[in-house]
């Protein structure tokens, strides 16, 4: 299976249009794999520097965890990558194309999907429509978008919810629909902002299983923010740690969990906020 393909119902759904071209040029012939690169990104909000020259790289097929105490700049970084916020300095590149300053819809068409810290579904639209809208938004025909949405709901074992207004679903299910919606865009890279926030232990386990299967089946690059260290440790190949907008560590789960600066940052915030880091 090539990276970027999703096998659903025995069918292989590859990327189309711009996506295929981008993929082929970067993955064929043993060239480098597709990469999302954040280069020395700085972000200022009137008087507050939320990110200080942050650099990181996500390769297609790998899961990079982004962690840090509350207010350390994780959501801001996802917002900058997806074009919701302009950078104050630095660059974001996908396959060597500089997408800094592009509008969010244009970045989405580069197959960069995302979910939000707070659920962003259209509550009055059906579950199916919520997913279809995302697929149509990246240029898919209505018919293909519908097929894709149906396949995703089947894959997520949520077919029975297809015709229900998304706003009527339980919170844990809404989070799953958000992931399905990001996948409807056939992403090369997915940005997930706290996908397990607000979930109980069982729902959190289900989300972990879902994300692990996404990783296995799609092979896109994933940048995932979460406070649930069990989810992060089990899902991620590498972890990037922010504190007050600066990178304080980067490495394997083991390296990061033993890093004194990381432990200090978390213990400091744990005293204030009741958070604890544990491997
Ligand atoms: P995290 O996701 O790691 O909890 P955020 O990226 O949400 O952190 O926030 C980083 C810092 O930037 C915080 O101090 C926050 O208050 C500030 N911030 C985030 N968004 C805005 C905004 N739109 N305007 C002003 N300050 C913001
Ligand atoms: Mg956040």
- The pocket around ligand 1, CB under 6 angstroms, is made up of 45, 48, 50, 68, 70-76
DSSP per residue, the chain: --TT-EEETTEEE---THHHHHHHHHHGGG-PPPEEEEEEEEEEETTEEEEEEEEEEEETT-EEEEE-STTSSHHHHHHHHTTSS--SEEEEEETTEE-TT--HHHHHTTTEEEE-SS----TTSBHHHHHHHHHHHTT--HHHHHHHHHHHHHHTT-GGGTTSBGGGS-HHHHHHHHHHHHHHT--SEEEEE-TTTT--HHHHHHHHHHHHHHHHHH--EEEEE-S-HHHHHHH-SEEEEEETTEEEEEE-HHHHHT-HHHHHHHHHHHHHH------
For the chain, give the percent of residues with pLDDT over 70.
84
- Which residues lie closer than 8 Å to 199 by C-beta, 6 or more apart? 171, 172, 175, 207
The best mutation among 47, 76, 118 to test binding of ligand 1, ranked by most ligand atoms within 8 Å of the C-beta, falls on: 76
Band of the pLDDT at 1, cuts 50, 70, 90?
very low
Please state, as a whole number, how many other Cβ atoms lie within 10 Å of the Cβ of residue 142.
10
- Rounded distance from Cα 160 to ligand 2 centre (Å): 32
- Overall pTM > 0.75: yes
| CATH class of the domain whose range is 6-13+33-119+189-273 | alpha beta
**pLDDT: is 214 or 2 the higher one?**
214
Tell the burial category of 39 from Cβ atoms under 10 Å away from its Cβ (0-12, 13-18, 19+). middle
Q: Which pLDDT score, from 0 to 100, does residue 204 have?
A: 93
Domains of the chain: which residue ranges?
6-13+33-119+189-273
Q: Order of strands across the sheet with 97-98?
A: 48-59, 35-45, 89-94, 97-98
Q: Give the C-alpha separation, 85 to 80, whole Å.
A: 5
In the prediction, which pLDDT does 20 show? 27
Q: What φ, ψ does residue 182 adopt, rounded to 5°? A: -65, -35
9-67 pLDDT per residue, tens: 333 333 333 332 223 333 333 346 799 999 999 999 998 999 999 999 999 999 999 99
pLDDT band at 70 (very low <50, low <70, confident <90, very high): very high
Q: Is 251 left (phi over 0), alpha (psi -120 to 50) or beta?
A: left
CA of 21 to the centre of ligand 2 (A): 33
CA of 76 to the centre of ligand 1 (A): 6
User: Could you give the CA distance from residue 172 to residue 119 in angstroms, rounded to a whole number?
Assistant: 10
How far apart CA 273 and CA 134 sit, in angstroms, is 36
């Amino acid at each position: 299976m090539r990276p970027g393909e999703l096998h659903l119902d025995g069918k292989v759904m590859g990327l189309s249009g711009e996506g295929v071209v981008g993929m082929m040029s970067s993955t064929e012939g043993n060239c480098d794999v597709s990469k999302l690169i954040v280069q020395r990104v700085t972000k200022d909000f009137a008087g507050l520097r939320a990110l200080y020259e942050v650099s990181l790289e996500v390769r297609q097929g790998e899961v990079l965890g982004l962690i840090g105490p509350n207010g350390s700049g994780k959501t801001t970084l996802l917002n900058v990558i997806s074009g919701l916020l302009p950078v104050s300095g630095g660059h974001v590149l996908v396959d060597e194309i500089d997408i800094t300053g592009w509008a969010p819809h244009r970045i989405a068409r580069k197959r960069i999907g995302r979910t939000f810290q707070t659920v962003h579904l259209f509550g009055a639209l059906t579950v199916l429509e919520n997913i279809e809208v995302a697929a149509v938004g990246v240029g898919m025909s209505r018919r293909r978008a519908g097929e894709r949405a149906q396949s995703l709901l089947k894959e997520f074992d949520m077919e029975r919810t297809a015709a229900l207004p998304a706003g009527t679903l339980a919170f844990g299910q809404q989070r799953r629909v958000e992931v399905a919606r990001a996948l409807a865009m056939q992403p090369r890279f997915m940005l997930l902002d706290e996908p397990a926030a607000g979930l109980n232990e069982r729902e959190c386990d289900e989300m972990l299983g879902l994300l692990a299967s996404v990783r296995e089946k799609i092979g896109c690059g994933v940048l995932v923010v979460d406070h649930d260290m069990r989810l992060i440790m089990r899902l991620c190949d590498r972890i990037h740690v922010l504190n007050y907008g600066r990178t304080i560590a980067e490495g394997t789960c083991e390296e990061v969990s033993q890093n004194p600066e990381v432990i200090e940052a978390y213990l400091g915030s744990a005293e204030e906020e009741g958070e604890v880091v544990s491997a």
